[in-house]
Structure 1
């Protein structure tokens, strides 16, 4: 078969569960496109996606590096497609735990975006958020906050306060300040994020809002005089997750487990036991009886007997 477009069409119609069978077709595409750098880079990117779904991170990285090299040669090092490939590489290295290399490619993408789009663009703000998330994963919360603040400045200027991107960045700042141990500042950002998200979505029945309730509860639970508020937020998170993800979702179990811990601390053992049991049953269904979460909830049940 010597027609690249026909091969692409065949690949397109192969079901996802059979995509591993497309590897010979992709190899043939690479042969046919060897004199067309643009199409060759596209095929390497598609192969990278396929290999990632198959769990082969190293081969994924090899194809992305080949795509990057081809695009830099064909389009120049400051092209937006080069930036996009750098972002893919950054994400892959982050997933493999190589934060230093991930940061290198994230910063490269950011510089290209600023040259092409200007300093105050939503895509640039997204990159600042991604770099902040990388520092957060590296436990460098102070640097994460600096990047989140850059993203927030752009979002406020472009979108204003009532926008999902602005709310999301407030949320990121809240979680980072929580990790630094500043509960009051964390709570301030998380409350703002929740209010803006509710305003933007017009409902509390959304997984992002449920997550906001849960994160606020985590912070409130660390403040001795606000335990009642923490319990209320955990219950709100549980209700929201149940309505949006279903009552058997692991997120619901996590909320119920946190509620149980608070009730146990307050000496309400019977109420705590019920919540531990509900959490245990959900986790057992989702993960199995021997999973750490299931065993942890079962231990809570036994402690309340």
Structure 2
């Protein structure tokens, strides 16, 4: 487009009532874009008003099956002053531009496909956050956090039922792993209220949300607050999934671990035993979850001074862990350390809690 044409269009658009200079320039830039660049701009407008990792954009584009050259169209948006380049791997939209592109994007025929791709990428990031992420993992996912917040704050209605809990869970795990429990708590609370509102009280996701909330309370030492949601989760899972389901064994284990933490050994023991028996029956004698249950019950016996029973169970747990997970696996090392501590009659520290951290969902 020649300069004279641009100036003529600018004069025409400025004469339209309500058009500011900024609006006119944005309209001109948008109209000059090829359809692929417009699609790229619409996808970017779905992200939060924060630095956008290009790797996350690429994931969303793949999920949306975009076939054009992403880099070429990204660079066009930068040249048109619609996108700001922060560094080689990070870009950002200015607030007014994001608002404008969002409005324009809603008019595109493929906007629903773009949204599906965006939410798919966000959910994948959330699912990839482990219950106990390492410091390197925390650094890796930190740039994506504002975009998870954007989804659960402003766009959660677009999440499908299956994926509904994951952005909430991912955010809570991110803060929980850093010991920022007060920052994690609202995400678990919002998760519970959201799934109840969307899915109703009688849904497995409600049980999962109750379980997660209870676990956070337990980590904070708020044992009295943790017990009711643990109990509700167990009852709900039994009712919805049946008495013999792996999720029921997890709830039994979690409730037993809570009772153990409170010194309520007589209440913990039958639940640890139920979880062990169910896991053997449902998962097989050699499953790692069986090793976890054997370790937990042995840990309880040791605390009660039942050393011979504890030693037998620790040895059984260790044999399974070595065979199924290998000698260098964290669970194997914890069980081995527990057995060595038992033989030396030394203190156990937080070994049971360390294993249980990986099985609380």
- TM bucket (normalised to shorter chain) is 0.5 to 0.7
Partner of 1:208: 247
Residues 140-155 of structure 1: matches in 2 within 5 Å?
140-155=180-195
Out of 32, 35, 57, the residue aligned to residue 65 of structure 1 is 57
Out of 88, 91, 94, the residue aligned to residue 124 of structure 2 is 88
Deviation at 1:92, TM superposition (A): 5.6
- TM normalised by structure 2 equals 0.58
Greater relative contact order (CA < 8 Å, ≥ 6 in sequence): 2
- What do you get for the CA RMSD once the two structures are aligned? 3.5
Distance 1:264 1:97 in 2: 35
Partner of 2:232: 192
Matched, 1:283 2:321: yes
**Which is richer in helix?**
1
- TM normalised by structure 1 equals 0.68
Which structure 1 residue ranges, 5 or more long, are not aligned? 1-34, 42-60
Residues 1-305 of structure 1: matches in 2 within 5 Å?
64-68=56-60, 70=70, 79-89=115-125, 96-98=137-139, 99-111=141-153, 113-114=155-156, 117=158, 125-203=165-243, 205-224=244-263, 226-289=264-327, 291-300=332-341, 302-303=343-344
Deviation at 1:199, TM superposition (A): 0.5
The DSSP-based 3-state class of the residue aligned with 2:138 is: coil
Please tell me whether Structure 1 or Structure 2 has the larger radius of gyration of its CA atoms: 2
Distance 2:327 2:191 in 1: 43
**8 Å CA contact 2:256, 2:269 repeated in 1:** yes
Distance 1:151 1:93 in 2: 16
Distance 2:217 2:117 in 1: 34
**8 Å CA contact 1:90, 1:102 repeated in 2:** no
| Further displaced range: 185-194 or 235-244 | 235-244
Distance 2:59 2:201 in 1: 38
List per-residue Cα deviations over 1:186-240 (Å, max 9, x = no partner).
Answer: 111111101001101122x22211111111111100223x211111111111112
Deviation at 1:125, TM superposition (A): 4.8
**Change in 2 beyond 3 A, CA 1:294/1:218:** closer
**Change in 2 beyond 3 A, CA 1:292/1:139:** same
List per-residue Cα deviations over 1:121-161 (Å, max 9, x = no partner).
Answer: 77555433332233223322222221111121122233332
Distance 2:128 2:225 in 1: 32
**8 Å CA contact 1:250, 1:283 repeated in 2:** yes
Partner of 2:18: none
**8 Å CA contact 1:234, 1:259 repeated in 2:** yes
List per-residue Cα deviations over 1:67-100 (Å, max 9, x = no partner).
Answer: 5475998866983422332343455687732243
Partner of 1:27: none
The DSSP-based 3-state class of the residue aligned with 2:286 is: coil
